[in-house]
Structure 1
């Protein structure tokens, strides 16, 4: 059986949803094909731990222009993580506490050096091609760059703590471009960048934005439906489904994570898709949301790269307890689903902490994602941009994993979906 549409969108994350909305509002018949039972991709709002939590992507900001426009469109408000009053850090295995000026001051040399490079390499944050310097620096890992900055051991460890959480991967493997792009979005100011990527969230969760876009999208949704093949000919694209049926469309927007692109057989082979699929992205960390007994003075805690968890952030009080979020750059280092194991690691910072419950999702082993938010290896920038910009056929790519500016962020997913949806609608 084959069903005909103008545009088929593969993947129901923010990139796919926005692409479907744009194409359908231009009068095209659209179908969204999603392999799981839910929409939202690597964002996932759940009612757990006695409250509403985010298992995936969370943070938004007015300096992320595309997501901010969407929040305005659907009249969604933001709130912030409770600002920390206590800052804890590990120094030679011992937990210490310092003032905000002192603790964040330890990061200043490394962060400022990155920000200075970002100003040169990403003069226009959403246009990496504006300066060839972006490609020149793409040869470096973040670790290699920081090795070249004169810092004390503690300064390097504090800087690596933040970036190990942000990169979800070893810094000697993570490409520097993710840091440079995030800094450029924040006006090349690293303290502003901390706010842009880690301070504000949507009241009610990212699921509220998913609901807003879906309500505005007159498309058909095929849920729990995996795509196995995409075959293009002169006048249409045939999308093969796991149940043996076929969907036919004039154009396709493929908005799946790059680490699962290789699960789809493309015919003919598209070199730009093959290159992105072969390179993939390297994130392998985890995020764990914890309900902790009793309330405490709001805090943030740091540990050097290599620690099972490298960053812990107080979120909010709840019924006499509190919620905290922790990040690690290696999902195999600690069982994030085990209250006992998580508590043992958190006691490195807070010896008397009692974890009541935890919530997590192992994105790294989930066959629909195979990684958390995208983290590039060195040398991938040009192939990502080529894949994003390719308009040589009826199959277009979208997604935060290849976004030109807001790379790996909800904002980048939306940006790519806007363009791909409208371009797909224009294909006859």
Structure 2
């Protein structure tokens, strides 16, 4: 517990009657049982804000984009945008409006956008997104507001793993190049400048480790025209970028995930060569993405998830699948050891099955497959 001298320097918590009804007690009465501690005093983030940031509040983008959190002594670099400034807020009481949510989160800095969405996977609750001008304010909010009670419901605050952008160009049909052996000083801007001489470049993205804030040593570059991608591939393979000679190859070979799905995979410590990260998985029975896509009907978007512990909840599983697309519905029978997750597209369902099969949840590896039993599917 902090001493009294340190506590006296902390800013006071927001008052219920100061425009945020329900933050601690919806009737405006003091309730020492649920009164949250005042926000911690954290120095503002002085790192430059990445440029060309699109708003994550405008609509829905199925590409999951991860932002690294600050970690240890490593410098924070220009991270994949826009999520250094955007937070996911779960477990919202339906009485919490966007105005109330804005007032609560403005205790750490100016809020640019707020969006609340009904949570189909957790009846009686909503979830939302909060976007700040300053990434330091977003980080302070995540540290000070996570676990606070709003209308007696404990909210969950984390980085917004999936950006919701419409202004960002859809590069899913473009020609992607994998760029490996990147040195630590190479960020999105450096990668973009290095490949922009080859014509119709549409995106350049370095993959980051969200725990350490360091580059994973690889990234992706997308071109609108195949000829430009081929020229870049032949010209840049083996060239020096920063302090290393890079290696280039076509992405999406042999069912390798797309750039957007690679960005989602990094949330769980996955890489193209070690897609299951640091977890222990079975060495047999893993289906390839191409096999699932080509051998199942296009209308099939429901995933079977087995080998669940009896105490596994939706909160343990649904966020994993949300990294590969949008979960439109879910049905859990954890007491019987299984669940059904319905994704938005056939391709996203296939990628989720391919990448999450064997992923460890509550001490057990998930068993994921396409759900053919329509009587039990979502």
TM bracket (short chain): under 0.3
Higher relative contact order, chain-length normalized (CA < 8 Å, sep 6+)? 1
